[in-house]
Structure 1
């Protein structure tokens, strides 16, 4: 068996597939196998579908071996290709969080939301046409739900904080969580001899720090040995990265509230200060984790995340202000 160059064998019959979204080793979909049955966890965008099917074929499995397609949530870098992929998998059902299922059955609102964040032309060029998933092929998840891939149990739990429509998937065989964006981001470019580095993803529009903390606590309660974040691939040394994640969140939230107190009416200046806060703390955290890349390289790799995280925190701040009023 020879895997394609874009796929990695992570052990335990789990394969990470680089979707090619944005840049190499940025966005992963996962293929989980047992007894010649399979599930995809996250799909990437439409352009990733040939890679997912190619990996399945390289492993000697036909399309009808796939029983489940499981987006961790419905953001388009995780689920944009789910509808197109389902068209190639005749036996598969899509297992979707109940707060997100309707958006993959009728993607109009999902696409409009992406256009509001990224712009219509970027969405068109990046994602193409988002194909709907027929309602009869959709199963809605619930907290602590368990499914089988072959004889392999996978358990789903509700994990809001990054998004309300987010669930994570526990694989007891590998003692690992497929975390989508709930447990944040860990790019392999930042790996050092000391281990990986991880930071939160607070992108628009449903960031909720308290819910996120509670979700991380639930994930850690399983004593995981590894994480499988969408951005990007397997992460070991879980207590270490959890401490990094929590430390940054504990700085960003009070820091953001302080920024709002200083410039409550100037949205542009508030966003600029949030980006500065996130950038400076990420640089310091990376250095503390042992990252020795040049600062300009770090800034370039993190530019998109800084922008989106600042926007997400700004939305959260606006919601907090509305509640007080």
Structure 2
């Protein structure tokens, strides 16, 4: 399997076939003087990344920067493994994320708590990244990657406190990671543009997520490069759907939180009810529940529900 999308503005996207699915998670390649990658996906995606670079005529030796929007393993888990092939590259990460890449013990424990028995299949191996191979960039710091282009980094919590969004001066596009949600490309053939928030544990904050979207809009972002997956040329629709779904996610979780006592019951009820809301919404647009998109939506909604209930538990503790 190989899939490279040419997105214009000297940017390509290599599909990492995360979860053995097309259009799920990938790596953006910015072909500047300083060749720059955004995301690596998880370690099982690294062979696909290596093949994609070969097809693009790029040697890993020539890569200068590997940017990680955040350190969740589906975006950054393969960075340590990939770095072994890139002797001249630096990994750029949020200041709050660097120590967890240097010692990924807590990252691994957190992912095992969410994914359980599927952890090895999804993420192994997780290799530490030496501190001297990392750069940490702060809010609104910029990185020149050629004489005519630069990347500006924005601190955008909401999905995670260690999340950066990266604005590209050439395309006027933002590499969003999970900040403004997931783009379900399975619905492309139906002519439907569909986005949902990504509210996974354990640092989800709805107010910060909406503030990050407002930041994007204030900057004048013209396109959004999603971690999951690909580019949207319609930022206003992204913001609209985020503002529509995020309050629904939170209110649905609040109802389950009040009704049930255990975390497991609260998550299960939240997941079931959000999935039903999404299914009804898509059904009104002619997408019935045997469509393949519902398989991945069900998985995402379950993880999102964990983050929602975790957020409500933390809110209760600070009252």
- TM-score norm. by structure 1 comes to 0.92
2:272 counterpart residue number: 276
Q: Give the 3 Å change call, closer, same or farther, for CA 122–258 of structure 1 in structure 2.
A: closer
Counterparts of 2:83 and 2:45 in 1: how far apart (Å)?
13
1:310 counterpart residue number: 305
1:87 counterpart residue number: 84
Counterparts of 1:161 and 1:50 in 2: how far apart (Å)?
31
- Alpha-carbon shift at residue 287 of structure 1 (Å): 4.7
Per-residue deviation, residues 54-90 of structure 1 (Å, max 9, x unmatched): 3223222322321111111001100011011111111
Q: List 4+ stretches of structure 1 deviating above 6 A.
A: none
2:27 counterpart residue number: 29
- Alpha-carbon shift at residue 192 of structure 1 (Å): 5.9
Counterparts of 2:280 and 2:235 in 1: how far apart (Å)?
20
CA contact (8 A) 2:180 2:238 kept: no
Counterparts of 1:202 and 1:108 in 2: how far apart (Å)?
22
Which of 131, 140, 143 is residue 139 of structure 2 equivalent to? 143
Measured on the aligned residues, the alpha-carbon RMSD in Å equals 1.8
Q: Give the 3 Å change call, closer, same or farther, for CA 197–157 of structure 1 in structure 2.
A: same
Unaligned regions of 5+ residues in structure 2, if any? Answer: none
1:261 counterpart residue number: 258
- Alpha-carbon shift at residue 108 of structure 1 (Å): 1.2
Q: Give the 3 Å change call, closer, same or farther, for CA 162–21 of structure 1 in structure 2.
A: same
CA contact (8 A) 2:25 2:74 kept: yes
- Alpha-carbon shift at residue 107 of structure 1 (Å): 1.0
Which of 220, 225, 229 is residue 226 of structure 2 equivalent to? 229
Counterparts of 1:128 and 1:110 in 2: how far apart (Å)?
12
After the TM superposition, which residues 145-184 of structure 1 pair with which residues of structure 2 at under 5 Å, given as runs? Answer: 145-151=141-147, 152-184=149-181
- Alpha-carbon shift at residue 193 of structure 1 (Å): 6.7
Counterparts of 2:59 and 2:295 in 1: how far apart (Å)?
40
Which of 288, 292, 305 is residue 294 of structure 1 equivalent to? 288
Counterparts of 1:117 and 1:29 in 2: how far apart (Å)?
24
Counterparts of 1:193 and 1:226 in 2: how far apart (Å)?
21
Per-residue deviation, residues 75-112 of structure 1 (Å, max 9, x unmatched): 11000110111111111111011111111111111111
Q: Give the 3 Å change call, closer, same or farther, for CA 97–319 of structure 1 in structure 2.
A: same
Aligned residues: 316
1:102 counterpart residue number: 99
